[in-house]
Amino acid sequence: MKKHFGIFSAVAIAAALTLTGCSSSDPAVSESASCAKADLSTVTEGKLTIATGEPAYYPWIIDDKPETGNGFEGAVAYAVAKQLGFEGADVVWVRTTFDSAVAPGEKSFDFNLQQFSITEERKAAVDFSSPYYTAPQAIVSFKGSTIEGKTTLAELKGAKLGAAVGTTSLDAIENQIGSTPQVFNDNAAAVAALKNKQIDGLVVDLPTAFYLSGVEVPNGIIVGQLPSTGSGDQFGLLMSKGSALTSCVSGAVDAISADGTLAAITDKWLATDAGAPALKP
């Protein structure tokens, strides 16, 4: 039977209002806190401009078409937009690179979602909403590799493990496994190295691991999940530093978490962790 993962516990509406000061589910509260659609300072008046990567991948966006709302992040984007008072026709999609999005400076979007992990370093340059997903890390490999069948972190210490530069996956290799990682400019380069068997395994978040092992990597396998370090790898909607939208967007995320919308989206698009055993210390 398939099991859920990454589904947030329900957050009380009252708590969300206390934390964010606004929620579009209550018109009176929204208006008083300037979270009503008419009071939101967006890139284009009356529109909500949302960014994602180019290309954007399954299961986050299906068929690289975010405007359909298919895929986990596509569905989240439209749920947040609706909570803020924007109809689907009022949503405008743009594309950015990962690096340009996390860099300081004004943005061409109102918020961006392409699996941005919330870190203190990034928070110095950009704003994040409340988390919309918490993802465990996992190791992708291929049948016949030297790490197939390994069940402990200790057994992986000498393996050649790779990750993209600037990711929490890279931190996991160093801090949890205790190995010196192979560093790649982006995930595409890391996947190519794995396909060419230049590395034994690639560390990514679990949803990406399912996609890579099932679609991208020939004879791909998931060796296992890394043990939880607490809150896990949390993804947030990214905005310009000091954005006037931050509290309202966070309020929208809190609201769709509280009313079950986020859980339903997670269940539809990311509801499986079969075949990814937990690795022991």
Q: What is the pLDDT of residues 123-174, one digit of tens each?
A: 999 999 999 998 888 999 999 999 999 999 999 999 999 999 988 899 899 9
Would you say residue 38 has pLDDT above 90? yes
Contacts of 273 (CB under 8 A, 6+ apart): 3, 4, 5, 206, 225
Q: What is the pLDDT of residues 66-107, one digit of tens each?
A: 999 999 999 999 999 999 999 999 999 999 999 999 999 999
Q: What are phi and psi of 149, to 5 degrees?
A: 85, -5
Q: What's the 3-state SS for 90-117?
A: HEEEEECCHHHHHCCCCCCCCEECCCCE
Burial of 54 (0-12, 13-18, 19+ CB in 10 A): exposed
pLDDT the model gives residue 271: 67
The domains spanning 13-134+235-270 and 137-225 adopt the same CATH topology: yes
CATH topology of domain 137-225: D-Maltodextrin-Binding Protein; domain 2 (3.40.190)
| pLDDT band at 232; cut points 50, 70, 90 | low
What are the domain boundaries of the chain?
Answer: 13-134+235-270, 137-225
- Helical axes 261-270 vs 72-83, angle rounded to 10°: 170
Contacts of 164 (CB under 8 A, 6+ apart): 170, 183, 184, 185, 186, 187, 189, 190
pLDDT the model gives residue 270: 80
CATH superfamily of domain region 13-134+235-270:
Periplasmic binding protein-like II (3.40.190.10)
